[in-house]
Chain A
């Protein structure tokens, strides 16, 4: 079993839809949690950190459930430009991230 698992998708949604991704992790000692966005053939870019109380950045909301060991990313009012692969990353030791394989989102007109 992988340390970090994501539903690979693809998720195909119409513009304006709300879509949510989950990411489960196996190490209960995990300390920090992140979502990255990766466009085709580009490097991952940090989208947002995930805090224990949950956090929001515009149309994006991230949540952490330590008891069930998963994090989630909710995207409201999807835009065409949101089409990308979304990677979750978990830090079990200070500074080193373990990544999931990503969830692919395609937003269609």
Chain B
């Protein structure tokens, strides 16, 4: 398994602005996932992008994947105070037994 490296470590924006978070990884993957963790809670799956996809949308979320650069970005548009949370990327290989490990994550604060 490998863990992604998220950047920046912390991000503070005003409500309504867009938030861009980046993730880099080191070895080949089958897909890459983004998770959100609210304080004191478990992780919530946000979106999965497969290695043969370049961009994916889900509501206010937009994820890109560049396998040549081994990087991904998560864009949250029109941010809300409720988006305040920690965000983690998880570059993964397919398989229910494959371990999922996490980097330090990004702490996003959205000011009302």
Q: Do A and B bind each other?
A: no
Interface, chain A (partner B; CB < 8 A):
none
Interface, chain B (partner A; CB < 8 A):
none
